Amino acid sequence: MNNKFLEQVLKIKYLGIITDSKLNFREHVMHISSKCTKLIHTLSKSAKQHWGLSHAALYTIYKGAILPLLLYSALIWIKALEKECNKTVYNRVQCLINIKIAKAFRTTSSEALCTLTGLTPIVIKVEEAVKLYIIMRKSQAHEIDHEVQPKEWLHLAYSESQNKMNTLYKYLQTAARASMGSELD
Where exactly are the structural domains of the chain? 11-145, 153-184
Please return the burial class of 153, using the count of CB atoms within 10 Å of its CB with bins 0-12, 13-18 and 19+. exposed
Residue 24 CB contacts under 8 Å (≥ 6 apart), including other chains: 80, 83
Residue percentage of the chain with pLDDT more than 70: 78
**Which pLDDT does position 154 carry in this prediction?**
59
Strands 17-20 and 11-14: antiparallel
Which pLDDT tens digit goes with each residue over 84-116? 999 999 999 999 999 988 888 889 998 999 998
pLDDT (tens digit per residue) in 3-46: 888 888 889 999 999 998 888 899 999 999 999 999 998 888 87
Between these two residues, 149 and 67, which has the higher pLDDT value?
A: 67
Output phi, psi for 20, to 5 deg. Answer: -105, 175
CB 74 within 8 A of CB 126: yes
Say if CB 40 and CB 66 are below 8 A apart.
yes
- Greater confidence (51 vs 36) lies with 36
Evaluated on CA atoms 52, 57, 106, 50, the torsion sign reads positive
Q: Computed over its alpha carbons, how large is the radius of gyration of the chain?
A: 27
Report pTM: 0.67
Q: Which helix (H) or strand (E) holds 180?
A: helix 156-184
